[in-house]
Structure 1
C-alpha cells in the first residue's frame, strides 16, 4: 500500500474539513448507521489499548481501517495541520472510495 497516496487523499479531506478525530467522535462515527461510506486510519505508534479498541469497533461494525506503518501520531497530525492524531475518520464518500482503491491496490491492508 502506498501510504503517501493515502496521506495525500487525507490531506484533501482535511482541507475540505471532512475528517474526524478524537475518541468520542471516532466512536460515534464508527457506530453511526446513517453514514454509508466510512474509513478509519490508525497511526503506527498509537497505544495498544486505543488500537485494540478501535480495531474491535471497526470489525464489529464492518468499517474498513488501515494501520499505518510509516506515519506516527506526530507525523500524521502534522500532515493534517494538527499536533498529534492517533486515529482519523474520513467523512467524504469520494475520498473514502479513493483511499479504498489505494489500499486495495497495495494488497497488504486490513480492509
Structure 2
C-alpha cells in the first residue's frame, strides 16, 4: 500500500515545480527586490537561516504585507529547488503561493 505524502513533502514537490516554472526567486538581495516591488506572493525561510537574514526578510515582508513562513531546514529546501545552500526563496506566482499556504495551515 502506498503511503500518502505529508503536507511538507507536497510543498517540497510544489517548490520543485515552481522552480521549473521560473516562479521562484533566490538570494537575499533578489528576494528583497521582489518583496519591494510586490512581485513576491510568499517568502519561505529555512528553519536554520541566520538571524540577520531572517530579520531582514521577515521585517521587509511584514512591512509590505507579504506572508513570510519558516518551513524546513536548509538541506531539504535546497534539495527541493535543485540549488545548493538556499535558506530562503520567494514565490512569485499567486497559484503556487496560494496552494503552499493552504498546505501549511
**Same-fold call, TM > 0.5?**
yes
How far the C-alpha of 1:21 sits from its partner, in A, is 0.8
Give a deviation string over 1:37-77, Cα, whole Å, max 9, x none.
Answer: 61000001100111111111111110001101xx2212211
Partner of 2:22, secondary structure, is coil
User: RMSD over aligned Cα, in angstroms?
Assistant: 1.7
Point out where structure 2 has 5 or more consecutive residues left out of the alignment: 1-5
1:18 corresponds to which of 9, 19, 23: 23
Partner of 1:83: 84
CA distance in 2, matches of 1:54, 1:5: 24
Structure 1: gaps spanning 5 or more residues: 107-111
Structure-to-structure mapping, 1:7-46, within 5 angstroms: 7-33=12-38, 35=39, 38-46=41-49
Question: Could you tell me how far 1:4 is from its partner in structure 2?
Answer: 2.0
From the CA coordinates, give the structure whose radius of gyration is larger. 2
Q: How many residues align?
A: 100
Give the secondary-structure state (helix, strand or coil) at the position aligned to 2:58. helix
For 2:16 and 2:90, the matched residues in 1 are separated by 12
